[in-house]
Amino acid sequence: MRMRAKGWELALPFALVGGAAGWISAGVLASPLVGVALGGKQEVAALCAGVIGGLIGALLPRVVAPRQAWHGRGSTWACLAALVLPGGALAGGLIGRITGWNLFAAVSGAVNGLICAAAAMPICAAVLEAALRAERARLGSIVAGSDRRAVWQILAASLSAATLAALPDWPAARLAEARAPALVEALAQCAWVAIGALLLADAAALARDLRRAADAEEPCSPDAIPSGAAAPLVDLGLGDEVHARVARGDAYRGRDRASLLVVGSLAEAHAALGGAVRRGVLCFALGAAVLLAHRWAAGDSAMGLYREARCARGHAPSCAPAPRRQQAASGPRGVRPVSRPARPNVVIVGDRH
Protein backbone atom coordinates (compact mmCIF):
# COMPACT_ATOMS: atom_id res chain seq x y z
CA MET A 1 0.00 0.00 0.00
CA ARG A 2 1.49 3.31 -1.05
CA MET A 3 1.31 6.41 1.05
CA ARG A 4 -0.04 9.54 -0.57
CA ALA A 5 2.26 12.36 0.53
CA LYS A 6 -0.59 14.87 0.34
CA GLY A 7 -3.34 12.53 1.43
CA TRP A 8 -2.68 13.08 5.12
CA GLU A 9 -0.45 15.31 7.18
CA LEU A 10 1.42 14.25 10.29
CA ALA A 11 2.97 17.59 11.20
CA LEU A 12 0.38 18.54 13.81
CA PRO A 13 0.05 15.07 15.44
CA PHE A 14 3.83 14.71 15.71
CA ALA A 15 4.16 18.25 17.04
CA LEU A 16 1.68 17.37 19.80
CA VAL A 17 3.58 14.15 20.52
CA GLY A 18 6.87 16.06 20.69
CA GLY A 19 5.52 18.81 22.92
CA ALA A 20 3.85 16.43 25.35
CA ALA A 21 6.85 14.09 25.39
CA GLY A 22 9.21 17.01 26.00
CA TRP A 23 7.18 18.31 28.94
CA ILE A 24 6.67 14.91 30.55
CA SER A 25 10.26 13.77 29.96
CA ALA A 26 11.72 16.94 31.47
CA GLY A 27 9.60 16.42 34.57
CA VAL A 28 10.56 12.76 34.87
CA LEU A 29 14.28 13.43 34.45
CA ALA A 30 14.13 16.15 37.12
CA SER A 31 12.07 13.99 39.49
CA PRO A 32 13.74 13.18 42.83
CA LEU A 33 13.41 9.48 41.99
CA VAL A 34 15.52 9.96 38.83
CA GLY A 35 17.45 13.16 39.41
CA VAL A 36 19.55 13.28 36.22
CA ALA A 37 18.48 16.77 35.12
CA LEU A 38 17.65 20.11 36.66
CA GLY A 39 14.07 21.16 37.21
CA GLY A 40 12.25 24.06 35.59
CA LYS A 41 12.95 22.99 31.98
CA GLN A 42 9.45 21.86 31.00
CA GLU A 43 8.58 24.94 28.94
CA VAL A 44 11.83 24.90 26.95
CA ALA A 45 11.66 21.14 26.49
CA ALA A 46 8.07 21.25 25.21
CA LEU A 47 8.87 24.05 22.77
CA CYS A 48 12.01 22.45 21.31
CA ALA A 49 10.56 18.95 21.11
CA GLY A 50 7.29 20.22 19.66
CA VAL A 51 9.00 22.14 16.85
CA ILE A 52 11.28 19.22 15.97
CA GLY A 53 8.36 16.79 16.18
CA GLY A 54 6.36 18.92 13.76
CA LEU A 55 9.27 18.97 11.31
CA ILE A 56 9.60 15.19 11.55
CA GLY A 57 5.88 14.78 10.91
CA ALA A 58 6.03 17.02 7.85
CA LEU A 59 9.08 15.19 6.50
CA LEU A 60 7.96 11.65 7.28
CA PRO A 61 5.43 11.14 4.42
CA ARG A 62 7.91 12.41 1.86
CA VAL A 63 10.62 10.04 3.13
CA VAL A 64 8.47 6.97 3.69
CA ALA A 65 6.36 7.12 0.51
CA PRO A 66 9.11 6.46 -2.07
CA ARG A 67 10.84 3.82 0.05
CA GLN A 68 7.60 2.00 0.81
CA ALA A 69 6.80 1.84 -2.89
CA TRP A 70 9.98 -0.19 -3.48
CA HIS A 71 10.75 -1.91 -0.18
CA GLY A 72 7.35 -2.47 1.37
CA ARG A 73 6.15 -1.88 4.91
CA GLY A 74 9.31 -3.00 6.70
CA SER A 75 11.33 0.05 5.72
CA THR A 76 8.63 2.33 7.14
CA TRP A 77 9.64 1.64 10.73
CA ALA A 78 13.33 2.03 9.90
CA CYS A 79 12.58 5.46 8.42
CA LEU A 80 10.56 6.37 11.49
CA ALA A 81 13.39 5.39 13.84
CA ALA A 82 15.94 7.17 11.64
CA LEU A 83 13.98 10.41 12.04
CA VAL A 84 12.64 10.20 15.60
CA LEU A 85 15.77 9.07 17.44
CA PRO A 86 18.15 11.72 15.99
CA GLY A 87 15.36 14.25 16.40
CA GLY A 88 15.11 13.42 20.10
CA ALA A 89 18.87 13.72 20.50
CA LEU A 90 18.81 17.08 18.72
CA ALA A 91 15.98 18.34 20.91
CA GLY A 92 17.77 17.18 24.07
CA GLY A 93 21.01 18.82 22.98
CA LEU A 94 19.22 22.11 22.29
CA ILE A 95 17.49 21.99 25.65
CA GLY A 96 20.76 21.29 27.46
CA ARG A 97 22.54 24.05 25.57
CA ILE A 98 19.80 26.61 26.20
CA THR A 99 19.41 25.83 29.90
CA GLY A 100 22.95 24.76 30.77
CA TRP A 101 25.07 27.12 28.66
CA ASN A 102 27.96 24.65 28.31
CA LEU A 103 29.05 21.72 26.19
CA PHE A 104 28.60 19.12 28.91
CA ALA A 105 24.95 20.14 29.36
CA ALA A 106 24.40 19.84 25.62
CA VAL A 107 25.96 16.37 25.43
CA SER A 108 24.10 15.05 28.47
CA GLY A 109 20.91 16.60 27.13
CA ALA A 110 21.43 14.84 23.80
CA VAL A 111 21.83 11.49 25.57
CA ASN A 112 18.71 12.09 27.65
CA GLY A 113 16.82 13.20 24.55
CA LEU A 114 17.81 10.03 22.71
CA ILE A 115 16.53 7.89 25.59
CA CYS A 116 13.28 9.83 25.79
CA ALA A 117 12.80 9.60 22.01
CA ALA A 118 13.21 5.83 22.24
CA ALA A 119 10.53 5.80 24.94
CA ALA A 120 8.24 7.86 22.68
CA MET A 121 8.74 5.58 19.68
CA PRO A 122 5.65 3.42 20.45
CA ILE A 123 3.45 6.53 20.35
CA CYS A 124 4.93 7.65 17.03
CA ALA A 125 4.58 4.14 15.62
CA ALA A 126 0.93 3.92 16.70
CA VAL A 127 0.11 7.25 15.06
CA LEU A 128 1.94 6.28 11.88
CA GLU A 129 0.19 2.90 11.77
CA ALA A 130 -3.18 4.62 12.06
CA ALA A 131 -2.23 7.00 9.26
CA LEU A 132 -1.16 4.10 7.05
CA ARG A 133 -4.47 2.38 7.71
CA ALA A 134 -6.26 5.53 6.57
CA GLU A 135 -5.01 4.85 3.05
CA ARG A 136 -7.28 1.84 2.59
CA ALA A 137 -10.52 3.73 1.89
CA ARG A 138 -11.47 6.19 -0.82
CA LEU A 139 -11.14 9.84 0.10
CA GLY A 140 -14.37 11.43 1.25
CA SER A 141 -16.01 8.11 2.12
CA ILE A 142 -17.53 7.01 5.41
CA VAL A 143 -14.69 4.63 6.28
CA ALA A 144 -12.08 7.24 5.33
CA GLY A 145 -13.63 9.66 7.81
CA SER A 146 -13.51 7.01 10.52
CA ASP A 147 -9.87 6.23 9.71
CA ARG A 148 -8.94 9.91 9.98
CA ARG A 149 -10.62 10.07 13.37
CA ALA A 150 -8.66 6.96 14.37
CA VAL A 151 -5.37 8.86 13.96
CA TRP A 152 -6.45 11.44 16.52
CA GLN A 153 -8.09 8.89 18.79
CA ILE A 154 -4.96 6.76 18.99
CA LEU A 155 -2.88 9.88 19.49
CA ALA A 156 -5.09 11.00 22.38
CA ALA A 157 -5.04 7.56 24.00
CA SER A 158 -1.26 7.29 23.67
CA LEU A 159 -0.67 10.73 25.18
CA SER A 160 -3.08 9.90 27.99
CA ALA A 161 -1.14 6.73 28.79
CA ALA A 162 2.15 8.66 28.63
CA THR A 163 1.01 10.95 31.44
CA LEU A 164 1.35 8.00 33.84
CA ALA A 165 5.08 8.73 33.89
CA ALA A 166 4.31 11.89 35.89
CA LEU A 167 2.52 10.08 38.74
CA PRO A 168 5.52 10.28 41.16
CA ASP A 169 5.39 14.07 40.87
CA TRP A 170 2.16 14.21 42.86
CA PRO A 171 3.62 13.02 46.20
CA ALA A 172 6.84 14.90 45.41
CA ALA A 173 4.83 18.09 45.02
CA ARG A 174 3.18 17.52 48.42
CA LEU A 175 6.68 17.40 49.92
CA ALA A 176 7.73 20.52 47.95
CA GLU A 177 10.31 18.49 46.01
CA ALA A 178 8.82 18.94 42.52
CA ARG A 179 6.23 20.89 40.57
CA ALA A 180 2.70 19.51 40.73
CA PRO A 181 1.83 17.90 37.37
CA ALA A 182 -1.41 19.83 36.99
CA LEU A 183 -0.85 20.49 33.28
CA VAL A 184 -0.09 16.82 32.70
CA GLU A 185 -3.38 15.86 34.34
CA ALA A 186 -5.15 18.51 32.24
CA LEU A 187 -3.65 16.88 29.15
CA ALA A 188 -5.06 13.52 30.24
CA GLN A 189 -8.46 15.11 30.81
CA CYS A 190 -8.49 16.78 27.38
CA ALA A 191 -7.42 13.51 25.76
CA TRP A 192 -10.26 11.66 27.51
CA VAL A 193 -12.83 14.20 26.30
CA ALA A 194 -11.43 14.01 22.74
CA ILE A 195 -11.60 10.20 22.79
CA GLY A 196 -15.24 10.38 23.88
CA ALA A 197 -16.16 12.86 21.14
CA LEU A 198 -14.48 10.74 18.45
CA LEU A 199 -16.19 7.63 19.80
CA LEU A 200 -19.57 9.32 19.50
CA ALA A 201 -18.77 10.32 15.90
CA ASP A 202 -17.91 6.71 14.98
CA ALA A 203 -21.04 5.41 16.71
CA ALA A 204 -23.16 7.95 14.84
CA ALA A 205 -21.61 6.94 11.51
CA LEU A 206 -22.29 3.29 12.31
CA ALA A 207 -25.90 3.89 13.34
CA ARG A 208 -26.91 6.61 10.84
CA ASP A 209 -24.88 6.31 7.66
CA LEU A 210 -24.75 2.53 7.45
CA ARG A 211 -28.44 2.23 8.26
CA ARG A 212 -29.15 4.65 5.45
CA ALA A 213 -26.89 2.69 3.11
CA ALA A 214 -28.62 -0.56 4.05
CA ASP A 215 -31.82 0.74 2.47
CA ALA A 216 -30.21 0.42 -0.96
CA GLU A 217 -30.85 -3.28 -1.50
CA GLU A 218 -30.96 -3.54 -5.28
CA PRO A 219 -27.58 -4.21 -6.93
CA CYS A 220 -26.79 -2.48 -10.18
CA SER A 221 -23.77 -1.74 -12.35
CA PRO A 222 -22.33 1.75 -12.68
CA ASP A 223 -23.16 1.71 -16.41
CA ALA A 224 -26.76 0.74 -15.87
CA ILE A 225 -27.88 3.08 -13.11
CA PRO A 226 -31.61 3.73 -13.25
CA SER A 227 -32.82 7.08 -14.42
CA GLY A 228 -32.49 9.96 -12.03
CA ALA A 229 -28.70 10.08 -11.92
CA ALA A 230 -28.84 13.10 -9.61
CA ALA A 231 -29.76 10.82 -6.70
CA PRO A 232 -27.77 11.18 -3.45
CA LEU A 233 -24.56 9.17 -3.41
CA VAL A 234 -23.18 7.38 -0.34
CA ASP A 235 -19.60 6.13 -0.65
CA LEU A 236 -18.75 3.50 1.94
CA GLY A 237 -15.08 3.55 0.95
CA LEU A 238 -14.36 -0.20 0.75
CA GLY A 239 -15.36 -2.38 -2.18
CA ASP A 240 -16.60 -1.52 -5.65
CA GLU A 241 -20.17 -2.78 -5.46
CA VAL A 242 -22.99 -0.43 -6.41
CA HIS A 243 -26.45 -0.67 -4.89
CA ALA A 244 -29.45 1.55 -5.40
CA ARG A 245 -32.70 2.31 -3.68
CA VAL A 246 -35.15 2.44 -6.54
CA ALA A 247 -38.42 4.30 -6.45
CA ARG A 248 -40.79 2.33 -8.63
CA GLY A 249 -42.73 4.17 -11.26
CA ASP A 250 -46.50 3.98 -11.61
CA ALA A 251 -49.00 4.95 -14.20
CA TYR A 252 -48.47 8.62 -13.47
CA ARG A 253 -44.70 8.87 -12.87
CA GLY A 254 -43.70 6.42 -15.55
CA ARG A 255 -40.13 5.01 -15.33
CA ASP A 256 -38.30 3.82 -12.22
CA ARG A 257 -35.74 6.16 -10.75
CA ALA A 258 -32.91 5.81 -8.21
CA SER A 259 -33.51 7.73 -4.99
CA LEU A 260 -30.17 6.66 -3.38
CA LEU A 261 -26.91 5.23 -4.71
CA VAL A 262 -24.46 3.36 -2.48
CA VAL A 263 -20.92 2.54 -3.61
CA GLY A 264 -18.94 -0.04 -1.67
CA SER A 265 -19.36 -3.15 0.40
CA LEU A 266 -21.79 -2.78 3.28
CA ALA A 267 -20.29 -5.77 5.13
CA GLU A 268 -16.71 -4.42 4.93
CA ALA A 269 -17.79 -0.94 5.99
CA HIS A 270 -19.81 -2.35 8.88
CA ALA A 271 -16.80 -4.37 10.05
CA ALA A 272 -14.51 -1.32 9.81
CA LEU A 273 -16.85 0.98 11.73
CA GLY A 274 -17.64 -1.71 14.29
CA GLY A 275 -13.92 -2.13 14.93
CA ALA A 276 -13.58 1.65 15.27
CA VAL A 277 -16.32 1.73 17.91
CA ARG A 278 -14.74 -1.12 19.87
CA ARG A 279 -11.36 0.60 19.70
CA GLY A 280 -12.93 3.82 20.90
CA VAL A 281 -14.52 2.07 23.89
CA LEU A 282 -11.16 0.59 24.89
CA CYS A 283 -9.41 3.96 24.50
CA PHE A 284 -12.16 5.66 26.53
CA ALA A 285 -11.77 3.11 29.33
CA LEU A 286 -8.00 3.59 29.24
CA GLY A 287 -8.40 7.36 29.57
CA ALA A 288 -10.73 6.93 32.55
CA ALA A 289 -8.24 4.57 34.23
CA VAL A 290 -5.44 7.10 33.70
CA LEU A 291 -7.49 9.86 35.37
CA LEU A 292 -8.23 7.57 38.31
CA ALA A 293 -4.50 6.83 38.59
CA HIS A 294 -3.75 10.56 38.82
CA ARG A 295 -6.30 10.96 41.61
CA TRP A 296 -4.79 7.98 43.44
CA ALA A 297 -1.29 9.41 43.09
CA ALA A 298 -2.39 12.56 44.88
CA GLY A 299 -3.53 10.56 47.92
CA ASP A 300 -1.88 9.23 51.06
CA SER A 301 -1.28 5.68 49.84
CA ALA A 302 0.87 6.94 46.97
CA MET A 303 2.71 9.17 49.44
CA GLY A 304 3.69 6.13 51.48
CA LEU A 305 5.03 4.33 48.42
CA TYR A 306 6.94 7.42 47.35
CA ARG A 307 8.58 7.79 50.75
CA GLU A 308 9.58 4.12 50.71
CA ALA A 309 11.12 4.53 47.26
CA ARG A 310 13.03 7.62 48.36
CA CYS A 311 14.22 5.83 51.48
CA ALA A 312 15.46 2.92 49.39
CA ARG A 313 17.54 5.39 47.36
CA GLY A 314 19.26 6.66 50.52
CA HIS A 315 17.16 9.76 51.27
CA ALA A 316 17.32 9.83 55.09
CA PRO A 317 14.37 12.21 55.76
CA SER A 318 12.07 9.85 53.87
CA CYS A 319 13.05 7.00 56.18
CA ALA A 320 11.62 8.84 59.18
CA PRO A 321 8.07 8.01 60.30
CA ALA A 322 5.34 9.78 58.38
CA PRO A 323 3.93 12.95 59.95
CA ARG A 324 0.56 11.34 60.58
CA ARG A 325 2.18 8.47 62.44
CA GLN A 326 4.19 10.90 64.51
CA GLN A 327 1.03 12.85 65.33
CA ALA A 328 -0.84 9.70 66.23
CA ALA A 329 2.01 8.61 68.50
CA SER A 330 2.33 12.03 70.18
CA GLY A 331 -1.35 12.79 70.53
CA PRO A 332 -3.34 15.73 69.16
CA ARG A 333 -1.48 18.95 68.38
CA GLY A 334 1.87 17.41 69.11
CA VAL A 335 1.22 16.97 72.87
CA ARG A 336 2.70 13.73 74.17
CA PRO A 337 0.29 11.95 76.53
CA VAL A 338 1.36 11.88 80.17
CA SER A 339 1.63 8.45 81.68
CA ARG A 340 0.15 8.12 85.16
CA PRO A 341 0.94 5.38 87.65
CA ALA A 342 -1.77 2.83 87.91
CA ARG A 343 -3.70 2.77 91.19
CA PRO A 344 -3.55 -0.52 93.02
CA ASN A 345 -6.90 -2.17 93.40
CA VAL A 346 -7.19 -2.83 97.16
CA VAL A 347 -10.05 -4.88 98.47
CA ILE A 348 -10.75 -4.59 102.23
CA VAL A 349 -12.36 -7.61 103.82
CA GLY A 350 -13.93 -7.41 107.24
CA ASP A 351 -13.66 -4.74 109.92
CA ARG A 352 -10.39 -2.88 110.37
CA HIS A 353 -10.88 -2.83 114.19
Q: Is 222 exposed, middle or buried (0-12, 13-18, 19+ CB in 10 A)?
A: exposed
Query: pLDDT of 252-272, one tens digit each?
Result: 554 555 556 777 788 888 888
Establish if 145 belongs to a structural domain.
yes
- State residue 330's pLDDT score: 45
Residues 165 and 210 in one domain: yes
CB-count burial class (<10 Å; 0-12, 13-18, 19+) for 332: exposed
Q: Average pLDDT, stretch 220-234?
A: 57
If one counts the domains in the chain, the total is 2
Q: Work out the angle between the directed axes of helices 74-100 and 11-29 (0-180°, nearest 10).
A: 50
**Where residue 233 falls among pLDDT bands split at 50, 70, 90?**
confident
pLDDT for residue 98: 85
What pLDDT does 2 receive?
46
In this predicted structure, which of 140-149, 186-195, 301-310, 325-334 has the lowest mean pLDDT?
325-334
* pLDDT recorded at residue 353: 44
Q: At CB < 8 A and 24+ separation, what contacts does 70-77 make? A: 73/1, 73/132, 76/128, 76/132, 77/125
pLDDT mean over 316-327: 62
In a domain, 61, yes or no: yes
> Maximum CA pair distance of the chain?
134
Spatial distance between the Cα atoms of 288 and 297, rounded to a whole number of angstroms: 14
Task: Tell me, yes or no, whether 286 and 219 share the same domain.
Answer: yes
Q: Which residue has the higher pLDDT, 178 or 289?
A: 289
- Shared domain check, 165 and 109: no
> Do 239 and 222 fall into the same domain?
yes
* pLDDT 10s digits, 336-345: 455 555 555 5
Q: Which of 9-23, 30-44, 123-137, 303-317 has the highest mean pLDDT?
A: 9-23
pLDDT digits (tens, 9 = 90+) for 132-173: 888 888 888 888 889 999 999 999 999 999 999 999 999 999
Domain, as residue range, for 185? 140-311
pLDDT, residue 245, reads 62
Is residue 185 located within the same domain as residue 102?
A: no
Same domain, 199 and 257: yes
Whether residue 328 lies inside any domain: the answer is no
Give the predicted TM-score (pTM) of the model: 0.79
Average of per-residue pLDDT values in the chain: 79
Say what the pLDDT of residue 211 is. 73
First to last CA, the chain: 115
Q: Is residue 337 in a domain?
A: no
Per-residue pLDDT at 175: 87
For 101-137, what is each residue's pLDDT tens digit? Answer: 778 888 988 999 999 999 999 999 999 888 888 888 8
Q: Is the pLDDT of residue 204 over 80?
A: yes
The 3-state secondary structure of 254-273, one letter per residue: CCCEEEEEEECCHHHHHHHH
54 found inside a domain: yes
